[in-house]
Structure 1
Amino acid sequence: MSNNANRVFQVVNARIVTPSGVIENGALTVIDGIIADIRLSGEEQDASASKLPVIDAKGNWIIPGFIDVHVHGGAGHDFMDANEEGIRAITKFHAANGTTSLLATTLTASREDLTAVLDRVSRFMSATMPYTQIIGVHLEGPFVNVKWKGAQNPAYILPPQPEWLDEWVRRFPGVIKIQTLAPESEGSLAYIEKLANNGIVPSCGHTDATYEQIIEAADHGLRHAVHTFNAMSPLHHRQPGTVGAVLTDDRITAEVIADGHHVHPAGIKLITRAKGTHNVILVTDAMAAAGMPDGDYELGGLPVHMSCGVARLKETNSLAGSTLTMISAVQYLVREVGVTLEEASRMASANPARQLGIEATTGSLEVGKAADFLQLSDSLELEAVWIKGTKFDN
């Protein structure tokens, strides 16, 4: 990213997407990486603000930076085995595609390997992060259902292990933000309560749970569903399954992968109409192959082949994560699904911030929040990225 001189400036002549609507011909002032003011361009302001460096947005959109709560890697690297250089490459790639904050997401693996990921990521978080900010870890597995394993390695699937969580919370306080499990597995309800009591969002995924089991899990604290429709018991009019519970229980926020491969546009419309755009979170589920050419890769130790940008397990031909970026997902929602940019922005920024409990500091463009924002052209092409008021320089 560029130097800190860019942390004090004003963006003018912009269409600014805020929680209360779009400000046409707006001006956004940044002081020390924080949004200090939002108003109409040309409105009277104090003398000091009028002397700030000015960036002319030329009528383009200014929207909040994206927060990706489910991302495994990118640029040829995976959080499961990436060293500091690899993590830096992942965050640089996603910064270039509009993600200003993310959760480093794991896969089903051994206790030792998952602990090692938590250790590497927590150390990376403790230093200055030059690109996308890692704000925690999303543990996807290993307490899932082998029937819906998808790209999760079945060799390491097992029931919830409370003592693992005790160790992780003690050694890495505040690092785990979400954990995904199968609520029908033995001991899962008590484990869900344990997650919630530790400030971790309990999530369902890779699950064969019935409608009734998901509702019961929500009674115990379940609040999130990963990649809705994918790797979960499907909707049937007499057996609503996991999908039916996720769509109808307002306590559960639904992730969606909007890449045209994981969910049909009509399926995404169904999710947004059932949940409302305030209760849907846009994610990439991106793997190491994101941003890379077609070829052979690995996901959680399983061989994957990517063709035409679509990654599938070699053994089963199942979808294996994605190569999606957040800017591409937002563009897909607007162009193919028909949501407004304001609605897409809510699903990509405000909703994940609220789910993670960080909405007071980021996720929307409001005075006092971090200057995490993007400039998009009228056709929604990404023009510029600012992270904490510092412009990203690819």
Structure 2
Amino acid sequence: MGAKVLKHAKIYTGDQVIEDGYIRFDEKILAVGSVYDYVAQSGDEVQNVQGTTIVPGFIDVHAHGGYGYDAMDGDPDQIDTMATKMMRNEGVTTLFATTMTQSNENIANAMKGVKIAAERNRVIQGVHLEGPFISAVYKGAQPEEYIKDPDTKLLGEWNELSGNRVRLITYAPEDKGSKAFEDYCLEHNIVPSVGHSNATREQLLNSKATHATHLYNAQREFKHRQPGVTGHVMLEDSIHAELICDGFHIVPDMIRLAFDMKGPERIELVTDSMRSKGMPEGESELGGQKVYVKDKQARLEDGTLAGSVLQFTDAFRNIQYFTGCSMFEAVQMSSVNQAEEFHLDSKGTLTEGKDADMNLFDRNMNLVTTYSYGNEYHPE
């Protein structure tokens, strides 16, 4: 059987824009370029997709759940299904299944479940441990009774249970024990991310954090006498910043400010989504806490925002609407930067030899088809 070929699309490879292009692929990308350079090969399955736009598959490094499922449930079948639904409906072809502050036993159970699910489903490329090594001052929707100081031994145990899949960890660098903890992370290919933190800029200048969990949210704010976590992240070019672009977690003007300060090379779009994403409004759950979903917002009983119900396709459109950035820049923030930061060498751009992970949008920027490892999927 020959390769698949999509012709006459506008293709954003992540490196360039091809106005009238073609892409030839099986599980991997075999060739991409101007349609005028396409040479037909025996057995090729050619499809004319004129009027469409093709971008690299999205990479979400911070998503807890969706479609009725949550990584913390620890059920491999459900985590597998969750990842597939995110891929089909939102174009997320690479996922870091994200945990939250919970009991040691519950986190261990989640690690075991993600390991089994990831062995079945290649969309799951890692784990993001959000907590429990965070600050109670900025706990957000994380239950305070399970918060603890950084613990290298515990992190090592969880990482081993996951099959060494922990790639990102949210922690409070100001807490005692953080130096040895950071060293362990760097030795084990885990990116240390400041989040749910009360750290000052002075403390952060002495930390090894190179990533920021949901910029602006659940962190010491930017003040005129203390830049805090938000100001530090804005000022340091070495730090990649997550943005939840739903318009609720961050108002559009502040998203534009972050974009102007950090630039498209240091921002990564995330959903921070919970199990209610893709489900009807009403009562839901997050880490044993009641959550109420209304008007595309998920909140605890006290009104605290509790993750999101944001779909990645909306984040991709919103960043362009809120900031006026180009589609090329939106692709950087949805795929390219994540692949580079986490050394996902076969992801992030549509170039020869990489995985055939890509999204095809119609003229109105509605997701029509997602290709994951060359296999074709459509929204449900």
User: Where do 4+ consecutive residues of structure 1 move more than 6 Å?
Assistant: none
Number of the residue aligned with 2:73: 81
- Pairing partner for 2:25 from 26, 30, 50: 30
Counterpart-to-counterpart distance in 2, 1:308 and 1:44: 47
Counterpart-to-counterpart distance in 1, 2:253 and 2:156: 42
Asked if 1:334 is matched to 2:320, the reply is yes
Equivalent positions of 1:161-310 (< 5 A) are 161-217=151-207, 221-310=208-297
How many matched pairs? 378
Paired letter, 2:62: H
Number of the residue aligned with 1:356: 342
Flag structure 1 segments of 5+ consecutive residues without an equivalent.
Answer: none
Asked if 1:106 is matched to 2:99, the reply is yes
Counterpart-to-counterpart distance in 2, 1:88 and 1:188: 33
Counterpart-to-counterpart distance in 2, 1:363 and 1:174: 22
**1:246/1:252 contact within 8 Å kept:** yes
Q: Give the 3-state SS of the residue equivalent to 2:61 in structure 1.
A: strand
Number of the residue aligned with 1:141: 131
Q: Deviation per CA, 1:50-72, whole angstroms, max 9, x where unpaired?
A: 64111211121110000000000
Q: Give the 3-state SS of the residue equivalent to 1:90 in structure 2.
A: helix
> Cα gap change, 1:113/1:161 in structure 2, threshold over 3 Å: closer, same or farther?
same
- Pairing partner for 1:118 from 111, 118, 130: 111
Q: Give the 3-state SS of the residue equivalent to 2:113 in structure 1.
A: helix
Counterpart-to-counterpart distance in 1, 2:247 and 2:162: 37
Counterpart-to-counterpart distance in 2, 1:281 and 1:247: 14
**1:106/1:138 contact within 8 Å kept:** yes
Number of the residue aligned with 1:346: 332
Identity of aligned residues (%): 36
Counterpart-to-counterpart distance in 1, 2:164 and 2:152: 17
Q: Give the 3-state SS of the residue equivalent to 1:371 in structure 2.
A: coil
State the shift of 1:44 in Å: 5.0
State the TM-score, normalizing by the size of structure 1: 0.93
Asked if 1:65 is matched to 2:57, the reply is yes
Q: Deviation per CA, 1:234-260, whole angstroms, max 9, x where unpaired?
A: 111221011011111111100000001
> Cα gap change, 1:107/1:169 in structure 2, threshold over 3 Å: closer, same or farther?
closer
Flag structure 2 segments of 5+ consecutive residues without an equivalent.
Answer: none
- Pairing partner for 1:155 from 129, 140, 145: 145
Q: Give the 3-state SS of the residue equivalent to 1:256 in structure 2.
A: strand
Counterpart-to-counterpart distance in 1, 2:190 and 2:37: 43
> Cα gap change, 1:361/1:177 in structure 2, threshold over 3 Å: closer, same or farther?
same
> Cα gap change, 1:156/1:204 in structure 2, threshold over 3 Å: closer, same or farther?
same
**1:76/1:288 contact within 8 Å kept:** yes
Paired letter, 2:77: E
- Pairing partner for 2:308 from 322, 328, 334: 322
- Pairing partner for 1:9 from 4, 8, 11: 4
Counterpart-to-counterpart distance in 1, 2:15 and 2:94: 23
- Pairing partner for 1:385 from 356, 370, 378: 370
Paired letter, 1:390: N
Paired letter, 2:150: P
> Cα gap change, 1:264/1:190 in structure 2, threshold over 3 Å: closer, same or farther?
same
Counterpart-to-counterpart distance in 2, 1:387 and 1:29: 14
State the TM-score, normalizing by the size of structure 2: 0.96
State the shift of 1:82 in Å: 4.5
Counterpart-to-counterpart distance in 2, 1:353 and 1:137: 15
